[in-house]
Structure 1
Amino acid sequence: MGKGRLAIIAGSGMLPVYVAEAARAAGEDPVILPLMHEADQRWDGFESAPMSVGDVAGLARIIKNFRIDRVVMSGGVRKRPAFREIHMNLAFLRKLPHAIRTLLSGGDDAVLKMVIGLIESQGCQVIGAHEIAPQLLAECGALGSIKPTADDGRDIERAAEAAAILGSLDVGQGAVSVGGRIVALEGVEGTDRMLARVAELREEGRISARRKGVLVKLCKPQQDIRADLPAIGLSTVENAARAGLAGVAVQAGRALLLQREETLQRADALGIFICGIEHFQEKCARGFPSGNA
């Protein structure tokens, strides 16, 4: 039997588009599975089969009909399926008790791991978006023309410590530090809404107008990197600027930079730095000054 096809489960945002284009450039003929009420891009020119978030039985039929053997999960999903929205098959029934507990009380990472397990129970290999489109991964050091200062370095260290603790609790991936003080932690609302909250706190005088601050996004320590890698793009840069921040730092090799050229150009225009860091206790040599300077 020959090689099966690649399927791309598409949530919201541009990431599924980049993955699909990269897959096609690599000689794949991907099948797009847009999630109903979540996917927001057009898929003209690609074979597609829309499905609902909780339709396990439908996914099994799609896998069989298109001879799919590999699946990439990409894009945002705002809403977990209610139990009544889940359409089961026999493979799912064996995992039902665990699935119910996870949907009711698990964090996002626990839910994603459960979804990966369900897909693999249908006989498919789940691979990461970065394996299809490695060019999206952020590298170490300053990525645009603007570099973080020593004060920014201290904020990066502080925010990264908070993001690592937050991630270990399976709550979120991002934290904001201003003048060495943690002023915001990312929850289920997501990065953009967290940054909007920081902007409001600035306007209210709750955050110093003299100090800028930094957003840091890290992979959760226990995260399966095949799904939900931290991602930043144009909206992140623009919202960081509105929040009065000096820049954004992400984990090198474990975070995605979307719309790379446009995002870096916009960051430069707004005076915002974007940099990749190796680890929350380590600093990249290129364009990352010591926080102890």
Structure 2
Amino acid sequence: MSWAVGGVGILAGGGPLPAQVAEAARAQGRSVFIIGFDGFAEPEQLAPWPHEMVRLGAAGRMLSLLHTHKCSDLVLIGPIRRPSLRSLCPDTEGARILARLGRALFAGDDGLLAALVRILGEEGFTVRGAHEFLSAAVAQPGILGCVAPDSLARQDIQRGIEVVQALGCLDIGQGCVVQNGLVLAVEAMEGTDRMLARAGECHQPGAGGFW
């Protein structure tokens, strides 16, 4: 990979993936600095790595830290709930970025993320996907477990693909649950875990089910 020589900045939400990306980047000989978002990132996960906890609206502090630590590549990883504009309380730089985001603030996650990537690029950073560091964590095509889908499951899978493609076009969500051709739940702002919980409550008698 012909990447820049600078460090890797990780903008971290919850879960273990930010630390895993940090470990993989360090193994590639890259320096690492993590910005953990207050209320989302887990300090115990970030503790072994150079990091600082920053509130979401403090964009000026984030950019200053990333430049100070000579980060050229950025990875955005880990779940974050989208805050309301009222609760964000942006600093001066944050307000400037919000103005540059414009209508993307009211778009779905994909539209907002695309706008953020564009703005971070304008600030001199290159946004990388986590899979570029965690290639071993990317699922390969084919059957992952020991149970192959039967014809009914394949029909549910095809139905699920159609539903998710429609959701993606509308920038609503990235998942759904289908049983016997019936869509039990689709993912929206609540996230995958809550979608799965809701689908469990709607489970129909009999076999089948795909998400």
Task: Give the TM-score of the pair, scaled to structure 2.
Answer: 0.89
Verify: 1:29 aligned to 2:25, yes or no: no
Verify: 1:87 aligned to 2:91, yes or no: yes
Query: Which residues of 2 match residues 40-189 of structure 1 at below 5 A?
Result: 40-42=42-44, 43-80=46-83, 82=85, 85-89=89-93, 93=96, 96-103=98-105, 105-189=106-190
Identity within the alignment, %: 32
Query: Which residues of 2 match residues 212-251 of structure 1 at below 5 A?
Result: 212-215=208-211
Uncovered stretches (5+) of structure 1, i.e. residues with no partner: 216-293
C-alpha deviation, 1:64, in angstroms: 2.0
Deviates more, 1:182-191 or 1:113-122: 113-122
Structure richer in helix, relative to its length? 2
Check whether the contact 1:12–1:41 (CA below 8 A) recurs between aligned residues. no
Query: Which residues of 2 match residues 242-261 of structure 1 at below 5 A?
Result: none
**How many residues are paired up?**
206
For the residues of structure 2 that align with 1:156 and 1:194, how far apart are their CA atoms?
A: 17
Verify: 1:12 aligned to 2:8, yes or no: no
- Computed over aligned residues only, the root mean square deviation of the Cα atoms, in angstroms, reads 2.0
- Residues 214 and 197 of structure 1: is their aligned pair in 2 closer, same or farther, counting only changes over 3 Å? same
C-alpha deviation, 1:78, in angstroms: 1.0
SS state of the match for residue 42, structure 2? coil
C-alpha deviation, 1:81, in angstroms: 5.2
Render the CA deviation track for 1:113-132: whole Å, top value 9, x for unaligned: 12212322221111110111
* Highest RCO, 1 vs 2 (Cα 8 Å, sep ≥ 6): 1
For the residues of structure 2 that align with 1:45 and 1:55, how far apart are their CA atoms?
A: 23
SS state of the match for residue 50, structure 1? strand
C-alpha deviation, 1:143, in angstroms: 1.0
For the residues of structure 2 that align with 1:81 and 1:4, how far apart are their CA atoms?
A: 34
For the residues of structure 1 that align with 2:26 and 2:162, how far apart are their CA atoms?
A: 39
Check whether the contact 1:8–1:71 (CA below 8 A) recurs between aligned residues. yes
Task: Give the TM-score of the pair, scaled to structure 1.
Answer: 0.66
Render the CA deviation track for 1:149-186: whole Å, top value 9, x for unaligned: 12111110001100110111000001111111222111
C-alpha deviation, 1:96, in angstroms: 4.5
What one-letter code is carried by the residue in structure 2 that aligns with 1:75?
A: G
What one-letter code is carried by the residue in structure 1 that aligns with 2:208?
A: K
For the residues of structure 1 that align with 2:22 and 2:137, how far apart are their CA atoms?
A: 13
C-alpha deviation, 1:100, in angstroms: 4.1
Check whether the contact 2:6–2:30 (CA below 8 A) recurs between aligned residues. no
C-alpha deviation, 1:76, in angstroms: 0.5
